[in-house]
């Protein structure tokens, strides 16, 4: 274990990320982190101001490489889809980080850069102003909802739901009708389809607004 004088902020944050990834955000306490770093809890205050600062740094660390990756290629829809698809992958690999982002505001540099690149892609599709902000927020809520819905579920749960429906076909006729699709649905495909549906709506509303003012 490192001695206090050799500890740096990057190491503190990396070990905090490891705790969140391994045992969940509720396990990230200053006492636990200090033990992982081989220092006293008070020594951590040389590197982070408080728990909020630590959580901000954890989010920024995990999202930083995604925020700085080269922009996706293609038209504005392809770029928005690529960004949200990658964001979903990051949060599925780091579900504790998704939980932090849902539980509290995360006004960190990496998040700001992600916001900016998506808004830039929307602007290339002539989606600007309030429409762009509303569209971004809708996509963000869908992405987080998808991640938090997917994390605790497996094919087993879907098969159980289908079995429950088949046991009462007179009361769940639509579920019975869609049983095959429900049992084999691919979460990756469904996510992309959901993003496309939202983008269709954003584009349609923007076009309708233009026609109304022309």
Sketch the domain layout of the chain as residue ranges: 4-48, 65-213
The separation between the first and the last C-alpha atoms of the chain, rounded to the nearest angstrom, is 68
Q: Tokens 């740094």 label which residue?
A: 57
Q: Tokens 């930083």 label which residue?
A: 64
In tens digits, the chain (214 residues) has pLDDT values of 444 447 999 999 999 999 999 999 999 999 999 999 999 999 999 999 999 999 999 999 999 999 999 988 999 999 999 999 999 999 999 999 999 999 999 999 999 999 999 999 999 999 999 999 999 999 999 999 999 988 887 767 778 888 898 899 999 999 899 888 877 778 899 999 999 999 999 999 988 877 787 6
Q: Tokens 């033990």 label which residue?
A: 35
* Dist. CA 195–CA 26, nearest whole Å: 31
- Superfamily for the 65-213 domain: Tetracycline Repressor, domain 2 (1.10.357.10)
C-alpha closest to that of 44 among 28, 60, 59: 28
* Dist. CA 118–CA 66, nearest whole Å: 13
The predicted model scores a pTM of: 0.86
What dotted CATH number matches 4-48? 1.10.10.60
């Amino acid at each position: 274990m490192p001695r206090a004088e050799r500890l740096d902020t990057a190491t503190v944050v990396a070990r905090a990320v490891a705790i969140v990834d391994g045992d969940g955000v509720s396990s990230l306490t200053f006492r636990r982190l200090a033990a992982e770093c081989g220092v006293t809890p008070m020594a951590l205050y040389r590197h982070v101001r408080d728990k909020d600062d630590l959580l901000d740094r954890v989010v920024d660390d995990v999202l930083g490489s995604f925020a700085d990756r080269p922009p996706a290629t293609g038209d504005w829809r392809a770029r928005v889809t690529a960004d949200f698809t990658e964001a979903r992958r990051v949060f599925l690999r780091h579900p504790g980080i998704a939980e932090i982002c849902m539980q509290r505001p995360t006004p960190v540099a990496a998040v700001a850069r992600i916001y900016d690149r998506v808004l830039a892609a929307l602007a290339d599709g002539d989606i600007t102003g309030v429409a762009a902000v509303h569209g971004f927020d809708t996509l963000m809520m869908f992405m987080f909802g998808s991640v938090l819905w997917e994390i605790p579920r497996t094919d087993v749960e879907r098969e159980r739901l289908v079995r429950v429906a088949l046991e009462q076909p007179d009361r769940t006729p639509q579920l019975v009708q869609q049983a095959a699709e429900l049992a084999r649905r691919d979460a990756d495909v469904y996510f992309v389809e959901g993003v496309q549906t939202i983008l269709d709506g954003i584009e349609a509303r923007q076009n309708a607004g233009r026609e109304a003012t022309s």
